Amino acid sequence: MKKIVLITGATSGIGAACARKFAGAGYRVIITGRRAELLTAMAEELEKTFGIEVLPLCFDVRDREAARRAIDSLPAAWRDIDVLVNNAGLALGLESEYAGDFTDWETMIDTNVKGLLYMTRLIVPGMVERLKGHVINIGSVAGDAAYAGGAVYCATKAAVKALSDGLRIDLAHTPVRVTTLKPGLVETNFSNVRFHGDTQRASNVYKGIEPLTGDDIADVALYAAQAPAHVQIAEVLILATHQASGSVICRE
């Protein structure tokens, strides 16, 4: 039986790249997201391109009961999830912490932290019971140190690292592995979302540097998942060549 991967936030960016990468490696893929039409299109693309089975699940990871219903609805043939990629996440706004938007804060915390916890709680017990599985959490270089205007987003990604480390400790007595990927500048729709659709402002984020792509991060995720069973890729920091940290970027 082919392995099963579940990827949250799979309709764009790093999530979509992971869906394609794992599908190309022969995994059966469960893709999740909030927009049914995008999930349907992604499922059709993956099935047509890679000839694998795809199961779309439409729900918002911020909604604990919706997440529970979605996982409970999985057919028996899809329940034994081998790899969970907690990818759903976002940044909103770049205001000072004392001037930030309450709704933006709540959306980031509910998605980046609570959504990751919900999915972990719903899926990892099955991995422990089956004595196999792998959790790959998409963190960020932003979780290593705060930068101006990004305090809340940075805090959520610092939480991803802490939650990943804690889960790895809690699972050390089992064969279940935990990996944290910490990308730097990745050119997706991330900045467009952050700036609430201001495309010009978003494009300036990547000006003067060749950023990473979603495929670059998906390559590392698949490598970690396919490492030998005794190898746990605990944490990987992935930066563009001319990026040294979350705030040090050399632009042409």
Any catalytic annotation for residue 118?
Answer: no
Kindly calculate the radius of gyration of the chain based on its CA atoms and give it in whole angstroms: 17
User: What are the CA-CA distances from residue 125 to residues 97, 129, 150 (Å)?
Assistant: 37, 6, 34
Pairing of strands 83-86, 134-138: parallel
* Range 70-90 burial, b when 16+ CB lie within 10 A, else e: bbeebeeebebbbbbbbbbbb
DSSP labels, 60-86 = -TT-HHHHHHHHHT--GGG---SEEEE
Query: Which of these is catalytic: 27, 118, 153, 206?
Result: 153
Cβ atoms 174, 128 nearer than 8 A: yes
SS3 content of the chain, % helix, strand, coil (to 5): 45, 15, 40
Instruction: Please tell me what DSSP assigns to residue 4.
Output: E
* Range 126-136 burial, b when 16+ CB lie within 10 A, else e: ebeeeebbbbb
Catalytic residues: 153
